[in-house]
Amino acid sequence: MSESTATTPVVEIDPATAAVPALRANSQLLEAVSAFEEHMVRKGFSDNTIKAFRNDLKILRTFMNDDAVLREISNQHLTEFLDWMQSERGRPCSAKTLARRITTLKVFFSWLRETGVIATDPAEEIVQFSVRTPLPTILTKDEIDRLTLACQDWDRDREKPDARPYLLVSLLLQTGMKKSECAKLLVEDIDRSRPQAPEVSIHYDDPRYAHKSRRLPLHPSILQSLDRYLAQYKPERFLFECTPRNLEYVLDEAGKRAKIWRTQVGFETLRWTSAVRDYKTGMKDEQLRLKMGLSKVSWRETSDKIQRLAGQ
C-alpha cells in the first residue's frame, strides 16, 4: 500500500466501557473538548498523546469558536478547517503533523458518536493518510556478536575490569526495555528464585500506565554477570545507581570497542534490535506487543516498522 493511500483511522473505542460524558448534541465545543481530555486521562492515553490532541483541538476551537454547537459541526466545517490550517493560518504544518491532526479529529468525533452525544460523525469521511517515519537502525548479527564479545572482554580486563557493560547490554538485548525503565530497575526486580528461569519486573506506579508493567524472562546465564556486577558495584537500591545519560555513555563506549561505526549503540538501537530478533524467531504479535509494553494504538506503527526491518 502506498503512503498516500487512505487507511482506517487509528481509533480504539469500546462503547461498552467508554464513560458517557454529561454532554448533549447542543453542547458547546469547549465543553466537549474538556470532557474528552478527562476521557483520555481515564483511558490511560500517554502524556505526549494528551498534549498533542489538546493542542490540535485548541486549533479547532480557534477556527470554530468555543461556543460552536456540536450537532451543527459538519464535514464541510472540518474540511474548511483543514484547508485553513494548511493555507490560510500562516503556519502550514508538515505532512506528519497534518496526519496526526486528522487522527485527532477522527478520534474526538468518533468518541462523541460512539458515546451517543452526536448522531453522525462529521470526521468519518475525512481521508486519512499514513506518513511513514524513517526506520530506526538495528544491529546485524555480526555486530551483536562483536558488541557482546567487546563487553565480555571489558568485564575481564586485567587492569580495569567492568562488569556493568555486559550486564546492561545483555538485559537490553533480552528484554528490549526502554531507557527510563532500565534506569528505574531496583536490585530486587531481578527475580532469581528459579535460577533456570530468572525474570525481571518492570513497574509503573501510575495507574494510567498499569498496562506497561510486566515480567520478562531472562536467560539463566545472565545471573553470572549479575553476580559479578553486584560484587563490583554493590548497588543498594537501584540496579544501576547512575544517571540514564551515564548508561548511554556506557553503551556508546561499548559500541566503539566493538568497532561499530555505522551507528551509535544506544537504548533505542538495542530496543529495536531486540524486537526484530524476537519477531524473526517467531514471537507472536500480541506477545511481542506486551513484551515491549505498548498500547494497541502504539503497536500499529511499531509493528509495521518491525516487519519492514525484518525484511531488510
> What integer pLDDT is reported at residue 130 of this predicted model?
64
151 and 287 in a common domain: yes
User: From CA 275, how far away is CA 216, in angstroms rounded?
Assistant: 13
178 and 113 in a common domain: no
162 and 294 in a common domain: yes
User: How large is the average pLDDT for residues 145-172?
Assistant: 96
Q: Looking at the 3D structure of the chain, how many domains does it have?
A: 2
Q: Range with the lowest mean pLDDT among 160-164, 200-204, 205-209, 211-215?
A: 205-209
Query: How confident is residue 2, by pLDDT bands cut at 50, 70 and 90?
Result: very low
> What integer pLDDT is reported at residue 7 of this predicted model?
37
pLDDT(6) > 80: no
117 and 90 in a common domain: yes
Residues 25-40: tens digit of each pLDDT: 999 999 999 999 999 9
Three-class HEC string of 33-64: HHHHHHHHHHCCCCHHHHHHHHHHHHHHHHHH
Single out the residue in 71, 104, 132 at which a domain terminates: 132
Residues 207-251: tens digit of each pLDDT: 878 878 999 999 999 999 999 999 999 999 999 999 999 999 999
Single out the residue in 132, 153, 172 at which a domain terminates: 132
pLDDT(11) > 60: no
246 and 281 in a common domain: yes
**121 or 85: which leads in pLDDT:** 121
User: How large is the average pLDDT for residues 151-166?
Assistant: 94
> What integer pLDDT is reported at residue 147 of this predicted model?
98
Domain assignment of residue 256, given as a range = 141-310
pLDDT(8) > 60: no
8 and 157 in a common domain: no
Single out the residue in 102, 132, 162 at which a domain terminates: 132
Computed over every residue of the chain, the mean pLDDT equals: 89
Give the residue from 222, 221, 220, 214 showing the smallest Cα distance to 287. Answer: 214
302 and 157 in a common domain: yes
111 and 90 in a common domain: yes
pLDDT(17) > 60: no
CATH number, domain containing residue 50: 1.10.150.130
156 and 292 in a common domain: yes
217 and 76 in a common domain: no
> What integer pLDDT is reported at residue 207 of this predicted model?
80
158 and 301 in a common domain: yes
Query: How confident is residue 5, by pLDDT bands cut at 50, 70 and 90?
Result: very low
Query: The C-alpha cell of 151 is what?
Result: 563487553
User: How large is the average pLDDT for residues 72-96?
Assistant: 85
222 and 96 in a common domain: no
CATH number, domain containing residue 306: 1.10.443.10
